[in-house]
Amino acid sequence: MNQFKLSILDLLKEDARLTAATIATMLGAAEQDVVAAIAEMEQEHVIVKYATVINWSKVDDEKVTALIEVECSPERGRGFESIAERVYLYPEVKSVYLMSGAFDLLVEIEGKNLKEVASFVSNKLSTIESVISTKTFFILKKYKQDGIIFEEFEDDQRLMISP
């Protein structure tokens, strides 16, 4: 990946709403080059999606999130790939990571309430054949996500005008 594309990614990671024209101005590049680079990265699945980071605790429609450590037995020839696929296809599952250490998969689940998450773990996740055990940790509060701090103390506290 060249520096030009990396710079574009850095800017889009901060603000996905930036237009190609604005990015081009900011990087001192031609707009068509930015458009082409973005298209290429979308094509290659480097840019997967343009999403919004939401602080759900500020919204009435609060959700329950849990992190689940999953221990499982790998399959001959495919390792953890097929089990991971079994897990990530469920819409409740927000992320799945293969981990080193005491367990194998770290699964992030989002549900409407505690009961829904508990039901998913016991009825769906634990019943997958190669799953040996699960440990569920509910997230009580999110302080920082994807490099973004949710608290408001980092607001601009500078004076309106200064020398």
Partner 1 sequence: MITREEKPQSLVERPRDSGMEQYLAANARAIQPSGIRRFFDLVSASKDKDIISLGVGEPDFVTPWRFRDAAVYALEKGKTQYTSNSGMLELREAISGYLSSQFKLKYNPDNEIIVTVGGSEGIDLALRALIEPGDEILIPEPCYVSYSPISSLGGGVTVGIETFAEDGFKLTAESLQAVITPRSKVLILCYPSNPTGAIMTYEEMLPIAKIVEENDLIVISDEIYAELTFTGQKHVSFASLPGMKDRTILVSGFSKAFAMTGWRMGYTCGHPDLIGAMLKIHQYTIMCAPIMGQIAALEALKEGGMEEKDRMVESYNQRRRLMVQGFRDMGLECHEPQGAFYVFPSIQSTGLTSDEFAERLVKEAKVAAVPGNAFGRGGEGFLRCCYATSITQLSEALERISVFLKKLD
Residue 2 per-residue DSSP state: -
Please report, in angstroms and rounded to a whole number, the separation of the first and last CA atoms in the chain: 42
Which residue, 100 or 162, is less far from partner 1 as judged by CB? 162
Smallest distance from partner 1 to CB 117, Å: 33
Smallest distance from partner 1 to CB 12, Å: 12
Smallest distance from partner 1 to CB 25, Å: 5
User: What does the CA dihedral 146, 147, 151, 155 come to, rounded to 10 degrees?
Assistant: -130
Measured distance CA(57)–CA(42) in Å, rounded:
31
Which residue, 129 or 155, is less far from partner 1 as judged by CB? 155
Which residue, 27 or 93, is less far from partner 1 as judged by CB? 27
- In the structure encoding, which two tokens stand for residue 39, read together? 């298209």
Name the site residues for partner 1 (rule: CB under 8 A).
11, 14-15, 18, 22, 25-28, 154, 156, 158-163
Which residue, 60 or 155, is less far from partner 1 as judged by CB? 155
Cα distances (Å, whole numbers) of residue 76 to 62, 101, 130: 41, 20, 12
Which residue, 89 or 161, is less far from partner 1 as judged by CB? 161
User: Angle 127-133-139 (CA atoms, 0-180°, nearest 5)?
Assistant: 100
Smallest distance from partner 1 to CB 54, Å: 17
Smallest distance from partner 1 to CB 17, Å: 9
Q: By three-state DSSP, how is residue 17 classified?
A: coil
